[in-house]
Every structure is written in structure tokens, then in C-alpha cells.
């Protein structure tokens, strides 16, 4: 087996490089799953309440599309219903990132050449990448199985195996895609797109049938996870589907990997134009960011439409449950469950938009550290002009995607168009403050600019989990989003919005002042 020579060394090397990334992804995923039985216990404490829930899920096709069908009333089965699809998707993302990072990323950067020139087999890198993904998926499966064992050991083992299975299906799929494309970014995008397709297929299937028996559900690996029916009469043979897919896809990836040159791909990059029309720093920024803006725009519009479509059903679903109503009202204000739901969903999208603004602002940081900013700034382009292009896209894009989310609600829900649009736009104040923090970090502490992700993550955590966990108000107050008026339903209060917008302006100005003064990092 000379084609596998060096696999052990490469695997240790991969795991060392991923010693932060894999544990973080796995821990977040496991925590999400393992916290669920307690949350559900608080929400639906009695058998009757859970039976009601099951009944309502069965009759509401929008909810089945979003979350999947439920197969049992005990806490284990409900946990699998509530987070199964999402935990599976997260496991898939973890695995695909690991595989692409250690295969196509390495080739594209040229690092693979050095590795391949050593006593390393032709298929060793791919094998090591898949094994690293197997470690990540396996540890997640073990943690989940161990953590849920209290709800029933058999179901816990089945769900753990199912999650690991989804991870490995997408690991081997990513291994194939990584052979096809020349760019790691494209490989990640395509595999994530296939994951999205798997989600949509399952959603379509679950909308059409109450018990996951639709063909659409069965063609999606995420559908297999729900059809494994952990905690609800496990169908062990479904695990065979995972195994068959992993073996088949793995075989294809191995066959491709052995047949091509290092650094080459089966889908070569198409040539571009010989002359270009880009002439300003702003045009360059737009060219670099337009794909991202388009993706976020589509995503926010669809999210708005989906949540809008759920709005009518939510009152029925939550209506009788005192605790769930309370949580929505803490997130969304106290003025009827429909308004509270709309307010909490628009608030949630605002929190997600904070991720957009951070990603967009930090493009500046990426341009700088990669060395691409240096020759641009050596031209007749001032630093502020250079930054302004990216920041216009970041801050203007935040307005755009919230506006599109509002239009999505208008399409999906159709009532209260004006107030819901206003509720979306008011989020911009919070989003801009987070964007301002990112600019400040980039301007004053360029090496710590990635800490802006930490800020966005903390705000996200406070906003999503805070209301359900009875977190003290002082902690909730740290987040700019906590100060926004709860719309629709609540009354519009301008002072906090204006204060936040002013704060954002000050943060951006301070960041830009720092950028003008400091050395460019290389």
C-alpha cells in the first residue's frame, strides 16, 4: 500500500492544525443537542403537553418542512426532532470544512507540493483528511450518545451514529468535489450547496408527508437521519444507507485522486477577460464582495418569506403553552403572540445580519494581511478611499439585506407590511454598532481584528439563548440589540435607535482615524 505511505504522520499533522477548529465545532454542536432535553422539559413538562405538540407538528406542514416530523413524545424523541436536522447539517459543515482544508486548500496554496515530494503516497493526503473528518464526526457521535444516554441508551447510540454518518457522507462528498474544482473556496461552496439541496429535498418531502416516507426525504442524507427514528423504534438498517454512501463516494474520490496531477482539477478554471473595466477602489471592492452580498440577499429574502409563512401557524402551536409564550414575549415584546413572534424573528435576523457586517468589514483585514492591499495603496488611492468602498458595501449591505428580509415577510405573511418592514429596518442600528466595533478593531488593533467575530458571536448567543435561560438583564443590556424597540407591537422609540446609530458613527470614525495613523501590516 505505498499509495498510503505517510498517512499516519499526515493525520497527526492535520489534527494538530485543527486542534482548535474541530473541538470548537464539535463542542458547539454537542452543546446544542445536549441542552435540548432540559429546554424541552421546561417547555413541555407533561405528557399531555408533549402529545399536543406532536399533534400540532403533524398537522402543520410548514413546521415539518423547517424542522421535520416528530415520531415520539418522550424527551429523547423530541430532542431528535427539534435539533436533529440542524445538528446533522452542522456535523456535515464541520466534516466538509475539514476535508477541503486538508485537500484542495493545501493544493491551491502550493503547500501540497512540498508534502507530496516527501515519502508520501498519492492517496495519503485524502486518506488523512477523511480520517480527520472521521475523528471529528466520531467524537461528536460519542459525545451525543453519552450525553443523551439518560433518555435511553439505544436511541442515544442510534442518534450518535446517525450524526457521525451524516458527517462522513458529506466528508466523502467534499472529497469528490475537491477533486473537481481548482479552488478550495469553490469546493466548499459547491459542497455546502449540495448540503443546502439535501436540506431543501428533506423539507419538501417532510412538507408532503407526516412520517418522513416521501421519496424526497429518502434521497436526502438529512432525511435518513430523521428516518433512523432514534428514540422512536430505531430502524437500524438505515445506518446501512450511510455506510453504503460513504463507501461509494469514498471509492469515487479515491479513483479520481489517483488519476490526476497535483494541483490540477477535472474542472479547470475558465479564462477571464484580457482587459478590464475596473478603475476605482470602490469598483474593486464591489467586484470582490458582490457574490457575498447576492448570497446574503437571497438568504435573507427566503428566510423572511419562510418565517412569514410560519407566522399564522405559530399562534396555534405556541398558543396553549405558557412557557413558550413567555419566551417569545421576552424576545419579542408583550403584545400578542403573533406580534411577539414577528418581533423575535426579525430580531433573530438582525443578529444574523451582524455576522454579515463583520464578514464584510473584515474583507479589509483579509486584503491587508494577504498583501493585496499594499500594491493598491501604493497607487494614488488614499487609505480612507480604499476602506470606504468596502465599508459602503458592509453598512449599505446591512440595510439592503434587512430590507429584503422585510419584503420576504411581506411575501410570506402579507399582513402588517409596513410595521414588519420597520421592524426589520430598526435592526440596522444594532447591526451597524457591531460593524462599527469591527472597524474600530481593524483600525486600532489590526492583528486582533478577528476578535470582531467573537463580539458578533457573543451578541448572537445573548440574543438567542439569553431569553430562554433567564439571563440577568445587565448581561442582556450588553448587546446593542437588547436596546432596540420590540417591533411590531411595541411602540417605536427613537432615542435608543438614534443613540446606537450615533455610537456606530463614532466607532467607525475612530477606526478610520486609527487606520490613517497606523502602519500597514504585512
Partner 1 sequence: MTKAITVAGLHKSFGRTHALDGLDLEVEAGEVHGFLGPNGAGKSTTIRVLLGLLRADSGAAQVLGRDPWRDAVEVHRRIAYVPGDVTLWRNLSGGEVIDLYGRLRGGLDPARRADLVERFELDPTKKGRTYSKGNRQKVALVAAFASDVDLLILDEPTSGLDPLMEEVFQRCVEEERERGRTILLSSHILSEVEELCDRVSIIRKGRTVETGSLADLRHLTRTSVTAELAGAPNGLAKLPGVHDLDVRGRRVRLQVDTDKLDAVLRSLTDSGVRSLTSTPPTLEELFLRHYQEA
Contact residues toward partner 1 (CB under 8 A) are 108, 182-183, 185, 269-281, 284, 287-288, 370-372, 374-383, 517-520, 522
Which CB sits closer to partner 1, 103 or 416?
103
Q: What angle do CA 13, 99, 285 make, to 5 degrees?
A: 105
Q: Measured between alpha carbons, how far is 412 from 311 in angstroms, rounded to an integer?
A: 9
Q: Smaller CB distance to partner 1: residue 293 or 484? A: 293
Cβ(440)–Cβ(460) under 8 Å? no
How many CB atoms sit inside 10 A of residue 472's CB? 8
Long-range CB pairs of 445-449 (<8 Å, 24+ gap) are 446/365, 446/368, 446/518, 446/521, 447/521, 449/362, 449/365
CB of 106 to partner 1, least distance (A): 14
Task: Measure Cα distances from 72 to 57, 229, 322, 494 in Å.
Answer: 11, 9, 22, 47
CB of residue 109 to partner 1, shortest distance in Å:
10
CA distance 428 to 294: 18
Cβ nearer to partner 1, comparing 260 with 518: 518
| Beta carbon nearer to partner 1, 119 or 380 | 380
If the CB atoms of residues 292 and 422 are measured against partner 1, the closer one turns out to be 292
Buried b (16+ CB within 10 A) or exposed e, 25-52: bbeebbebbbbbbebbeebbeeeebbeb
Nearer to partner 1, 261 or 470 (CB): 261
Minimum Å distance from CB 444 to partner 1?
Answer: 15
Distances (CA, A) of 321 to 51, 346, 463: 12, 22, 21
Of 82 and 101, CB closest to partner 1: 101
Beta-carbon neighbour count of residue 498 at 10 Å?
11
Give the DSSP letter of residue 519: P
CB of 280 to partner 1, least distance (A): 7
320/374 with CB nearer partner 1: 374
Q: What's the CA gap between 63 and 84, in Å, rounded?
A: 14
Cβ-based burial of 336 (10 A; exposed 0-12, middle 13-18, buried ≥19): middle
| Cα radius of gyration rounded to whole Å, the chain | 24
In the complex, minimum distance from the CB of residue 375 to partner 1, in angstroms, rounded to a whole number: 6
- Residue 231's SS3 state is coil
Nearest distance in Å: CB 28, partner 1: 29
* Rounded Cα–Cα distance for residues 395 and 408 (Å): 20
CB of 136 to partner 1, least distance (A): 27
Nearer to partner 1 by C-beta: 202 or 383? 383
For residues 69 and 103, the answer to whether their CB atoms sit within 8 Å is no
**Cis bond before residue 488 (omega within 30° of 0):** yes
Shortest distance (Å) from residue 188 CB to partner 1: 13
CB 446 → partner 1: shortest distance, Å?
13
Closest approach of partner 1 to the CB of residue 372, in Å: 5
Please give the Cα distance from 395 to 389 (Å, whole number): 10
User: Which lies closer to partner 1 via its Cβ, residue 277 or residue 472?
Assistant: 277
Amino acid at each position: 500500500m505505498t499509495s498510503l505511505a505517510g498517512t499516519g504522520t499526515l493525520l497527526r499533522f492535520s489534527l494538530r492544525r485543527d486542534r482548535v477548529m474541530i473541538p470548537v465545532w464539535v463542542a458547539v454542536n454537542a452543546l446544542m443537542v445536549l441542552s435540548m432535553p432540559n429546554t424541552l422539559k421546561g417547555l413541555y413538562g407533561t405528557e399531555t403537553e408533549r402529545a399536543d405538540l406532536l399533534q400540532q407538528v403533524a398537522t402543520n406542514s410548514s413546521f415539518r418542512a423547517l424542522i421535520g416530523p416528530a415520531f415520539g413524545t418522550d424527551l429523547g424523541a423530541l430532542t431528535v426532532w427539534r435539533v436533529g436536522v440542524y445538528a446533522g447539517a452542522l456535523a456535515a459543515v464541520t466534516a466538509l470544512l475539514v476535508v477541503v482544508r486538508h485537500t484542495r486548500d493545501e493544493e491551491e496554496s502550493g503547500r501540497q507540493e512540498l508534502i507530496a515530494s516527501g515519502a508520501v503516497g498519492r492517496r495519503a493526503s485524502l486518506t488523512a483528511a477523511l480520517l480527520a473528518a472521521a475523528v471529528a464526526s466520531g467524537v461528536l457521535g460519542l459525545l451525543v450518545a453519552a450525553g443523551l444516554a439518560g433518555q435511553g441508551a439505544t436511541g442515544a447510540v442510534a442518534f450518535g451514529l446517525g450524526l457521525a454518518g451524516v458527517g462522513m457522507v458529506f466528508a466523502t462528498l467534499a472529497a469528490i468535489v475537491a477533486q473537481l474544482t481548482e479552488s478550495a473556496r469553490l469546493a466548499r461552496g459547491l459542497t455546502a450547496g449540495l448540503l443546502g439541496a439535501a436540506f431543501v429535498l428533506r423539507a419538501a418531502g417532510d412538507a408532503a408527508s407526516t412520517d418522513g416516507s416521501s421519496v424526497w426525504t429518502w434521497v436526502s442524507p438529512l432525511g435518513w437521519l430523521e428516518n433512523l427514528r432514534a428514540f422512536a423504534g430505531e430502524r437500524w438498517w438505515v445506518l446501512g444507507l450511510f455506510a453504503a454512501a460513504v463507501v461509494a463516494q469514498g471509492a469515487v474520490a479515491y479513483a479520481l485522486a489517483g488519476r490526476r496531477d497535483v494541483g490540477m482539477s477535472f474542472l479547470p478554471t475558465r479564462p477571464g477577460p484580457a482587459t478590464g473595466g475596473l478603475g476605482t477602489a470602490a469598483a474593486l471592492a464591489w467586484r470582490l464582495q458582490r457574490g457575498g452580498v447576492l448570497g446574503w440577499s437571497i438568504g435573507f429574502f427566503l428566510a423572511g418569506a419562510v418565517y412569514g409563512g410560519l407566522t399564522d401557524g405559530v399562534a396555534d402551536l405556541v398558543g396553549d403553552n405558557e412557557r413558550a409564550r413567555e419566551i417569545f414575549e421576552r424576545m419579542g415584546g408583550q403584545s400578542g403572540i403573533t406580534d411577539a413572534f414577528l418581533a423575535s424573528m426579525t430580531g433573530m435576523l438582525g443578529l444574523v445580519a451582524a455576522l454579515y457586517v463583520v464578514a464584510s468589514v473584515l474583507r479589509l483585514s483579509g486584503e491587508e494581511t494577504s498583501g493585496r492591499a499594499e500594491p493598491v495603496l501604493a497607487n494614488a488611492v488614499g487609505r480612507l478611499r480604499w476602506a470606504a468602498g468596502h465599508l459602503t458595501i458592509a453598512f449599505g449591505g446591512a440595510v439592503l439585506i434587512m430590507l429584503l428580509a422585510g419584503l420576504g415577510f411581506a411575501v410570506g405573511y402579507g399582513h402588517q407590511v409596513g410595521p414588519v418592514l420597520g421592524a426589520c429596518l430598526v435592526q440596522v442600528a444594532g447591526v451597524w454598532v457591531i460593524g462599527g466595533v469591527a472597524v474600530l478593531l481593524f483600525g486600532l488593533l489590526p492583528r486582533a481584528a478577528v476578535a470582531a467575530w467573537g463580539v458578533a458571536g457573543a451578541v448572537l448567543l445573548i440574543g438567542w439563548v439569553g431569553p430562554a435561560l433567564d439571563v440577568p438583564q445587565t448581561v442582556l443590556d450588553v448587546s446593542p440589540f437588547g436596546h432596540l424597540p420590540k417591533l411590531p407591537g411595541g411602540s417605536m422609540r427613537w432615542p435608543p435607535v438614534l443613540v446606537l446609530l450615533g455610537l456606530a458613527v463614532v466607532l467607525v470614525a475612530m477606526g478610520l482615524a486609527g487606520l490613517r495613523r497606523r502602519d500597514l501590516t504585512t
